[in-house]
Structure 1
């Protein structure tokens, strides 16, 4: 009897937690289809706010900036982070505690501190050299810097899970370093690379604080556009943008989860 009561209590707590997490998102999605301009009362179902998005040049420009920023920064972070992750694995028996701290620092550092430091650095470099003017270029660099640790740790965890004798077997079969990379390492860690890319992509699309401090006047992303528009009040159009972002992030997260499960299998 006690076990059944405990099980029901835990089940109820589970559903309460899910409702607490996702009901606000459901409300945003519902009001994105609101027929009226009201953000507090649902009067009917309509697609007009999504139709208005397709004709809004500012939103389309912000969307293009977000996608371009996410794709480029995730690709660069994937390459650099993969090399760092492999280096951590190769030298894992050495005393490299300071390197682990440097890898974890961008993850645990508050976004606002990271964003302000990036902005101050870019401003000083631009003042002294004329390079790194705030814009998409500085945003890409900033996003790469906080994406690299996630990629490096995912790749490192994948290498640690491999049997070390596999590397020796590849050498015994006279595989050159390039062949070992192409025919052994990359296929083996491919699920980790895909998961790391999608995680980096999601973090980039979702980021606001770091993007806000490193953006230029012509490089606003969707989160920055939403922040600027919401100061005038929440409208169904903002809800529509948020709903599309929620759907995009959910799809990317689902794809990443699928590849992660395949990797574990």
Structure 2
């Protein structure tokens, strides 16, 4: 049987030791594994002993890597498993490492999902579909994800969605109410709000504007349409193209007529 002829402490990692068998380097182990298996010079090891020691050491290394990975923030089980695979750990060793992490309370997908939800609610304006998809990508089971999201009432999601829509209104003073509602719908959908919530918010929202703000919106959109059509069309066809384009954006006939007349005056004064 092979005999341990030398044990030396690694220079870069003082907690690991190199094991030499019959004068040749064989493997390295953590200090805890060294003590557990009472490895010492002149000790004989069977092939089974060596396999068991290397397996135990790999688990120990995996456990330490996982703790370092967890030191930056909470992780889901799936994230840790992927991290350990990237370090070329075997599946059996990963499974045992995960068992140890669960045993000592270092991983808990239910607690992770709750913490992730709380962070999203505090730092973002994302909706339930977006948050649910993010949890799914982190390997959270469907049951845990659904239970976590169910803690937030429909009323709270509606309130958050309304805040998103208010931002859209403030950022788009040069667009019509219809344009804003379309943009708001797209924004809410992109941020992960469900159709029922989006519908309630859009039907309840009030887009209040004074006369100056209304004029700013119609004039801005009319100016864009004018630049598009003035070189291609004239007379009646130009008028119809302008009216159709602005009507589709939600402006009234009165607003459209006023804007077209104003643009005509501008052109004539140039």
Structure possessing the higher relative contact order (Cα contacts under 8 Å, 6 or more residues apart): 1
The structure with the largest alpha-carbon Rg is 2
More strand by share: 2
Short-chain TM bin: under 0.3
Instruction: Provide TM-score, normalisation by structure 1.
Output: 0.20
TM-score (norm: length of structure 2): 0.20
